[in-house]
Amino acid sequence: MRQDLVVWWVREDQRLHDNPALCAACEDARARGVPLLCLATEAPGGVTRWGFDRVGAHRRWVTWRRLQGLAAALGRHGQGLRWLPLPAVEALRALQADHRLVAIHAQQGLAPQERAEEDALLAQGLPVHRHESGGLFTRAALPFGQDVRTGALALPRSFTPFRAAMEHRSPPPPLGEPPHWPRRPQGPDGAPPPPDCPSADPRSIHPYTTPACDPGEAAALQHLERYLASPAVAAYKQTRNAPSDAAASTRWSPWLAGGALSPRQAWAALDAHDAASGRSEGSHWIRVELLWREYFRWLMAVEGARLYRPTGLHADAPPPRHDAGGFERWRAGRTGLPLVDAGMRELAATGWLSNRLRQVCASALLHEMGGDWRAGAAWFEAQLIDYDPQSNQGNWAYIAGYGTDPRGGRRFDLAWQARQHDPDGRYVARWLDNPGP
C-alpha cells in the first residue's frame, strides 16, 4: 500500500541517543501525522584498485552486528529498521517509487562518497534534510571565518592552532533519545543476512564478539562508564602508546567510528568525571585526542576529494611511488621488520591496532617498503573495526607528508620504537611466535 512516510536514513550515526537526524525525523513524522520509516542501506563494497576487498571480514561482521543492535533498540520503542540491500541512492529511489517520501532526514556526510549520495538524491528532487552530527562542534560554532576567495571554512592548516582555538570551548551537551516516537509503517522490515563471523583470536585486546566489546550502543555506554570509573584515565598520558595493554587507551574508537557513541557523549562523560574526581592530566589528553578526531572531520569537510589525490593537499609535490611486492609483504606481515610484522598480523587477526603501531606500520610501508600511502590507507580501511574515513585518510596523509603535518611527514625509527614501546619484546613475541587460532 502506498503511504506517506518520513524517513530516518541511517548513515554513520547508529544510535538512539544524541542523534539530531533521528530526533528531527521523529518530530517531523509526529507533526505531519505520518509514520516514521527507519531505513538502513547496503554499505559500498567491491574490490579496491589494489586488488583486495574494500570491506574485510572484521568490519563486515561488526557493521552487521551494530545494525542488529540498532534494530533491537528501535524495537523497544515500537519501531522497526527496514533494510534495503541496495546502495543508498537506489534504495531511496526504489522506495520513492512505491511510497511518497515527504522528508528524508540524514546525518550530513563529510567524505566525497557520502556527499555525492546526498547531491544525487537532491538532484533527483528527493526531500533530503541534512543534519550536522557526529562531531563535537557545528560549523556555526567554529571561530575560523571563511576563505575570502572560495567561501569555504578557513580551517588552520595544522592541528596546533586548531587545538589552541578549540580546547577551551565546550561542545553542546548531548541530546537524549527522541522524547516521542511516531507510529511505524506497515510492512515487514527485512534484515541483512549474517556474514561469517571471524574466529575469535584470544590475543585480541578488543574482542568484538564478546558482550563487553559488542559494537552496539548499549555496550558503548557501559564501556564509557566503566573506563571513566577506572584508574586508567589518570594514567592515560603515560600508557596510551603501549601496544598490548587493553587499558592503555580508551578503546572508544570502535564505538565512535561506528556511531554507537557520539563524541559529545564522551566529552560530557569526561566533564562529569572531572567534576567528581578533579581534572587530571589523563582526561585533558583524552580531550586533545578527541580534538584530533574533530580536526580531521573538518579537514575532510573542507578538502574532500583533494585528500584522496596521489599528492593529497600538496598539488606540486612529487607523486608517491608504489612497489607492489613490498606492499604485499607489508600487508601479509612478512617484511622481516619484527615490530611491523607483529602489528600487521595483529591488524589482520583482530581488526585492531594501537595508535603507535598504526604510525609505525604506516611509516614502514612508506619508507621501508616503498608503498603508496593510498594503498596503505585502503588496507586499513578494509581491516579496521574503527574505520573512519576522516581519521584514516587524514592520518595517512599526515604521515606521508601529503596532509597537514608542518614537518612534512614522519619517518619512525623502528629500532627506537621497539626499545621504547616493546622493551621486553612481549608484543613482538605474542604476534610472531604464537600462530593464533
Ligand X SMILES: Cc1cc2nc3c(=O)[nH]c(=O)nc-3n(C[C@H](O)[C@H](O)[C@H](O)COP(=O)(O)OP(=O)(O)OC[C@H]3O[C@@H](n4cnc5c(N)ncnc54)[C@H](O)[C@@H]3O)c2cc1C
Measured from the CB of residue 297, what is the shortest distance to ligand X in angstroms? Answer: 9
Residue 350 contacts ligand X per CB under 6 A: no
- Dig out the grid coordinates for 308 from the structure: 584522496
Subset of residues 153 to 182 that bind ligand X, contact rule: CB under 6 A? none
Cα 437 from Cα 435, distance rounded (Å): 7
- Dig out the grid coordinates for 78 from the structure: 515500537
The distance of Cα 57 from the centroid of its chain, to the nearest Å, equals 17
Measured from the CB of residue 141, what is the shortest distance to ligand X in angstroms? Answer: 19
Choose which of 61, 327, 387, 412 interacts with ligand X (CB under 6 A): 387
Stretch that binds ligand X, among 169-177, 186-194, 275-283, 387-395 (CB under 6 A): 387-395
Stretch that binds ligand X, among 17-25, 60-68, 73-81, 244-252 (CB under 6 A): 244-252
Which amino acid belongs to residue 377? A
Cα 29 from Cα 128, distance rounded (Å): 14
Are 265 and 133 within 8 A, CB to CB? no
Residue 391 contacts ligand X per CB under 6 A: yes
Q: Alpha helix (H) ranges present in 43-197?
A: 57-75, 88-98, 112-123, 159-166
Cα 50 from Cα 327, distance rounded (Å): 10
Choose which of 228, 268, 362, 364 interacts with ligand X (CB under 6 A): 362
Q: What is the DSSP letter of 404?
A: S
Measured from the CB of residue 183, what is the shortest distance to ligand X in angstroms? Answer: 36
Residue 301 contacts ligand X per CB under 6 A: no
Choose which of 8, 9, 61, 252 interacts with ligand X (CB under 6 A): 252
**What kind and span of H or E run contains 131?**
strand 128-131
DSSP 3-state of 132 = coil
Residue 359 contacts ligand X per CB under 6 A: yes
Cα 255 from Cα 222, distance rounded (Å): 11
Stretch that binds ligand X, among 57-65, 119-127, 180-188, 291-299 (CB under 6 A): 291-299
- Dig out the grid coordinates for 299 from the structure: 579537514
Cα 196 from Cα 79, distance rounded (Å): 27
**Residue 6: what are its φ and ψ, rounded to 5°?**
-100, 135
Choose which of 26, 257, 337, 349 interacts with ligand X (CB under 6 A): 257
Gyration radius of the chain's alpha carbons: 22
Residue 251 contacts ligand X per CB under 6 A: yes
Choose which of 388, 400, 417, 427 interacts with ligand X (CB under 6 A): 388
Measured from the CB of residue 318, what is the shortest distance to ligand X in angstroms? Answer: 21
Residue 355 contacts ligand X per CB under 6 A: yes
DSSP 3-state of 307 = helix
Site track for ligand X across 223-242, x = CB under 6 A: -----------------x--
Residue 402 contacts ligand X per CB under 6 A: no
- The smaller minimum CB distance to ligand X, of residues 137 and 387, is found at 387
- Dig out the grid coordinates for 2 from the structure: 502506498
Cα 375 from Cα 362, distance rounded (Å): 10
Residue 289 contacts ligand X per CB under 6 A: yes
Going 14 to 16 to 19 to 25, the CA torsion angle's sign is: positive
Choose which of 283, 395, 404, 417 interacts with ligand X (CB under 6 A): 395
Which strands sit side by side in the sheet containing 82-84, from one edge to the other? 82-84, 36-41, 4-9, 100-107, 128-131
Stretch that binds ligand X, among 108-116, 133-141, 249-257, 319-327 (CB under 6 A): 249-257
Choose which of 107, 133, 204, 253 interacts with ligand X (CB under 6 A): 253
Tell me the number of residues near ligand X by CB under 6 A: 29
Q: What residues make contact with ligand X under the rule CB under 6 A? A: 240, 249-253, 256-257, 286, 289-290, 292-293, 296, 354-355, 358-359, 362, 380, 384, 386-388, 391-392, 395-396, 399
